[in-house]
Amino acid sequence: MFALDPRLERDTLPVGDLPLSRLLLMNDAQYPWLILVPRRPGVSELFDLAPEEQRQLWEETTRVAETLKALCGAEKMNVATLGNVVGQLHMHVIARHGGDPAWPGPVWGRLPAQPYEAGAASVWRERLRQAFAERPGFLEE
Provide the binding-site residues for its own copies, judged by CB under 8 A. 44-47, 54-55, 58, 62, 65-66, 69, 76-85, 87, 96, 103-106, 108-109
Question: What is the H or E stretch that residue 16 is in?
Answer: strand 12-17
Whole-angstrom Cα distance, residue 24 to residue 138? Answer: 14
27 or 56, CB closer to its own copies?
Answer: 56
Please, what is the minimum distance in Å from the beta carbon of residue 96 to its own copies? 6
Nearer to its own copies (CB atom), residue 59 or residue 122: 59
Go through 11-48 and write b for each residue having 16 or more CB atoms within 10 A of its CB, e for each that does not: bbbebbebebbbbbbbbbeebbbbbbbbbbeebeeeee
CB 61, min distance to its own copies, A: 8
* In the complex, least distance from residue 104 CB atom to its own copies, rounded to whole angstroms: 4
For its own copies, the closer CB: 85 or 118 = 85
Taking the complex as a whole, how short is the minimal distance between the CB of residue 115 and its own copies, in angstroms? 22
Contacts of 38 (CB under 8 A, 6+ apart): 20, 21, 49, 53, 57, 89
Q: Is the CB of 45 or the CB of 122 nearer to its own copies?
A: 45
